[in-house]
Amino acid sequence: MGPRKFLLASITTVSVLLYMFPHASSESVALPPESAYGPAAESPDAGARDLSPVPPPMVFDVDDYGASAGGDATEAFLAAWKDACNSSSDPSLLLVPEGKAYLLMPVSFTGPCRATTITAMIRGTLEAPSNRSVWLGGERWITFEDVDSLHVMGGGTLNGHGQEWWINSCKVNKSMVSACSPYLRFRCIVHFCDRGNLTRRTCIFSPLFRQKCVAGPTALYFRSCDHLVVDDLEVKDSMQMHVVIANCWKAAVSRLFVTAPGWSPNTDGIHVSNSREVSITNCIISTGDDCISIVSGSEFVWASGIYCGPGHGISIGSLGANKSRAHVSDVLVEKATLVGTTNGVRIKTWQGGEGSAERIIFQDIKMYNVTNPIIIDQNYCDSKKPCSEEESAVAISDIRYNNIHGTSSSKVAVKFICSSAVHCDGIVMQDVSLVGQKGAYLKCSSVNARVITPGFNYPYCTADM
């Protein structure tokens, strides 16, 4: 067993042992249905199982299509995918051999496929191009789209080589914002141009001159893939988000090892958007942004056995940006461990938005040296200056925090910052115990929130209504 798998297995085992006791009641919040706990989560009594032997898959090895280690293997991968997708043999398997590294340009593996079940078995390493000039505005590195019953697994590695994107991000290089903004373009100097030894005059008028920041691509993107399984992969150093699940139904994500430096901007670990019945289990995520982010259109999402840190914690949102309508419901986050994160479990919604975030449970969670362990921010705005409160907001209701213990690096461990126009309603805290470093006294800050606190809780939050 390699060090990565040993670490994953060890943390998963410890997390399970820590929480082998009865959970607090969660009757007031609807739990995800059984089908949310993985594509094969049917009851044993659901009917007689088909016990006929499963035929071996037809294997399509990318090496047989001309892929070679070190060279550009994109065309070979696409050719192998085309044959695997259109194969009359079922199931079919696209094989990336172990012990080799393949360079892949931005690529899209699309369906629908003739094969009713298709597996991408990634045993080797996939390398993204490190030079930003080859991307030509592409927003994704590896995309799977419109492929049902897709399995992506194999123990291999996806390396996004995102360093060049990070150092040219406006969040990291503050000079790019102040010196190369449209209002100060004549102050732009050579260092902030995209490439080349350009003079000041050339820099101003060159087509390479960038007036605004450009978002980095997502490493692994799944769109409209129902009955999706993603298992046992390492995804590292993505240009921006690492794994995105978008417009999917019944997706099971497990045993992912997602890593990027804590300072890398916008490198969310697993991002769920507009998807239903999604499970995320037994994953280690260490990034520069949210370990898990769940945004609008997502329902019945279950996350369990998650190790998070460094990063920005586990987030619902942001929701309602640009005065949009957003909805997230029926989310269960449990058996998580967060270490050294800027936030623990967070719900954030933009001012001026509409919609709802409801029936959300955070339970059986350990936190160590977390800056904002529990936070709801209904007045979120991405600005250094305070934003004036607006008349509309995304409604937040039926939120439960059960059995959350650990340490906070800030004096205010619990923050409920809610709108005066649309209050936070039905917040329940039960068996929450957060202490400061060296036993320091902690506080709860609650504004415009209806909070119920049965049992012992520390810090204690009052119903601010």
Question: Which sequence positions are flagged as catalytic?
Answer: 312
State which amino acid sits at residue 396: I
CB 84 within 8 A of CB 59: no
Q: Which residues pair with 76 in a beta bridge?
A: none
State which amino acid sits at residue 318: S
Alpha carbon 390 to chain centroid distance? 29
Give 292-322 as a DSSP string: EEE-TTEEEEEEEEEEE-SSS-EEEEEE-GG
CB 288 within 8 A of CB 311: yes
Say which residues have a Cβ less than 8 Å from residue 299's Cβ, sequence separation at least 6. Answer: 276, 277, 327, 328, 329, 330
The torsion region of residue 224 among left (phi > 0), alpha (psi -120 to 50) and beta comes to: left
Tokens of 402: 């059960």
How many other CB atoms are found less than 10 A from the CB of residue 162?
29
Which of 133, 130, 137, 65 lies closest to 104, judged by CA?
Answer: 130
Per DSSP, the three-state class of 29 is coil
Own/partner contacts of 8-16, CB < 8 Å, gap of 24 or more, are 8/255, 8/257, 8/282, 8/284, 11/284, 11/307, 11/337, 12/282, 12/305, 15/305, 15/307, 15/335, 15/336, 15/337, 16/305, 16/335
State which amino acid sits at residue 456: F
CB 313 within 8 A of CB 344: yes
For 82-102, letters b (16+ CB in 10 Å) and e give eebbebeebbbbbbbbeebeb
CA distance 396 to 355: 9
Per DSSP, the three-state class of 354 is strand
First to last CA, the chain: 55
